[in-house]
Amino acid sequence: MSAAKKPPKGDGLLPKELVESWSKIGYGLGALGVAAFAAGMLGADQARFGAAYLVGFMFTTTIAVGALFFVVIQHLTKAGWSVAPRRIMEWLSQGLIASAVLFVPLVVMAPKIWHHWMGEHAAHDQVLVQKQGYLNQPFFYARAIVFLVVWALLATWFYKLSREQDSTGDRKLSDKLQVAAAPSIAALGLTISFAGFDWVMSLDPHWYSTIFGVYIFAGCLLSSHAMLALCIVRLRKDNIGGNLLTVEHQHDVGKFLFGFVVFWAYIGFSQFMLIFYANIPEETVWYLHRWNHGWHVVSMGLFLLHFIAPFLMLLSRTAKRDPRLLAAGAGLLLFMHWVDLYWLVMPNFDEHFHFQWVDIAGLLAPVGVTAAWLSKRVLADPVYPLKDPYIPEALKAENL
């Protein structure tokens, strides 16, 4: 193996000054998030803040679920190119542990958030009466516990074994992770789909879409890869990861990001087209709420800035290999992912499009707490798997 193809030397840890800097940012965001949560709880309409908090919660949780899916699929396929990117996604997936705690305020605010079917008037609504077997509070909370526990356990277990291999170098751990990957993929697919049904689609319990779970899943993939792209660009700036985190790996992540831009647009358009074509009033009303009274601005913004602009930005080979262009595209997509979730949730609470300060507070609370937790949880660990058996393959990664 030539010198240019050797893995990075050392313990793979982030520089001490970078850990301290990122930790300060993480803890600072945590303090800001707690302050934003207190301000939202004390100084705003509870239903509005609950909706804004749900948007923020879904933002951090979907990123973490998408990251966990990436980790599991790499083990399932025995992928070799992604050794270092996989560790970054293992880090991001640890946010699911924070999500389990961050769901508690949603339980407190649940009667105001999901008031359409949790309120007393639901007993007089024949549609909701027919759905009571599924949309009832005990079953709703039981499902939420299952979702959050499954995600937290999978994220913890996959990361634990990966870190164990850093010490032992045991090849059998990779085999064990691969065996567990297939059922884990199935569990992730089912849980995130039903979480989307429960936490977002049920905000309007009269409306339904069988593709909605896939739409939420597409957002998970897109947002997590946008975060991965930003992390790789930042780490490569200081040459962290060496030959395990090169422009070739950045290019691969850029291709995934571009592909998921198209996937998100395809799923979103498929849902819209089928509802538009059928023209059934109880289905089309959901889109009418997202077009009238100023919401058309957000709807058109999603089309232009969540699909057209990033599609053109990431289309070329140059964009995927240029850190500035890739970071710009990833940053835009991450912001638009939050806008997308805002568009899904807020029209259920405000017929007219009115952006308020509480919407930012609802975002800062989950983002801040998750950032603080990740700062404590992962920054002191190696930035790539030190003794992964696929390191030689990762060193050969090349885009022709």
Alpha carbon distances (Å) from 229 to 25, 44, 214, 321, 378? 19, 36, 22, 11, 18
Quote the percentage of the chain above a pLDDT of 90. 91
Q: pLDDT per residue over 376-385, tens digit each?
A: 999 999 999 9
In this prediction, residue 171 carries a pLDDT of 95
Interatomic CA distance for residues 253 and 231, integer angstroms: 11
Cβ proximity of 199 and 53 under 8 Å: no
Q: 45-49, 75-79, 83-87, 103-107 — which is least confidently predicted?
A: 45-49
Is pLDDT at 3 greater than 90 in this prediction? no
Is pLDDT at 45 greater than 90 in this prediction? no
In this prediction, residue 4 carries a pLDDT of 56
Q: What is the mean pLDDT of residues 180-193?
A: 97
Q: 4-13, 94-103, 329-338 — which is least confidently predicted?
A: 4-13
Interatomic CA distance for residues 397 and 175, integer angstroms: 22
CA torsion through residues 219, 302, 208, 211, sign: negative
Distance of CA 273 to the CA centre of its chain: 25
In this prediction, residue 42 carries a pLDDT of 87
pLDDT class for 211, splitting at 50, 70, 90? very high
pLDDT class for 2, splitting at 50, 70, 90? very low
pLDDT class for 98, splitting at 50, 70, 90? very high
Q: What is the mean pLDDT of residues 134-162?
A: 97
Q: What is the mean pLDDT of residues 183-209?
A: 96
In this prediction, residue 119 carries a pLDDT of 84
Is pLDDT at 181 greater than 60 in this prediction? yes
Q: What is the mean pLDDT of residues 157-175?
A: 96
Q: 63-67, 170-174, 240-244, 369-373 — which is least confidently predicted?
A: 240-244
Is pLDDT at 35 greater than 60 in this prediction? yes
Q: Count Cβ atoms below 10 Å from residue 83 Cβ, excluding itself.
A: 26
Region label for 278, one of left (φ > 0), alpha (ψ between -120 and 50) or beta (otherwise): alpha
Mean confidence (pLDDT) of the chain: 94
Q: HEC states along the chain?
A: CCHHHCCCCCCCCCCHHHHHHHHHHHHHHHHHHHHHHHHHHHHCCHHHHHHHHHHHHHHHHHHHHHHHHHHHHHHHCCCCCCHHHHHHHHHHHCHHHHHHHHCHHHHHHHHHHCHHHHCHHHHHCHHHHHCCCCCCHHHHHHHHHHHHHHHHHHHHHHHHHHHHHHHHCCHHHHHHHHHHHHHHHHHHHHHHHHHHHHHCHHHCCCCCCCCHHHHHHHHHHHHHHHHHHHHHHHHHHCCCCHHHCCHHHHHHHHHHHHHHHHHHHHHHHHHHHHHHHHCCHHHHHHHHHCCCCCHHHHHHHHHHHHHHHHHHHHCCHHHHHCHHHHHHHHHHHHHHHHHHHHHHHHHHCCCCCCCCHHHHHHHHHHHHHHHHHHHHHCCCCCCCCCCCCCHHHHHCCCCC
pTM: predicted TM-score of the whole model, two decimal places: 0.96
In this prediction, residue 11 carries a pLDDT of 81
Q: pLDDT per residue over 252-309, tens digit each?
A: 999 999 999 999 999 999 999 999 999 999 899 999 999 999 999 999 999 999 999 9
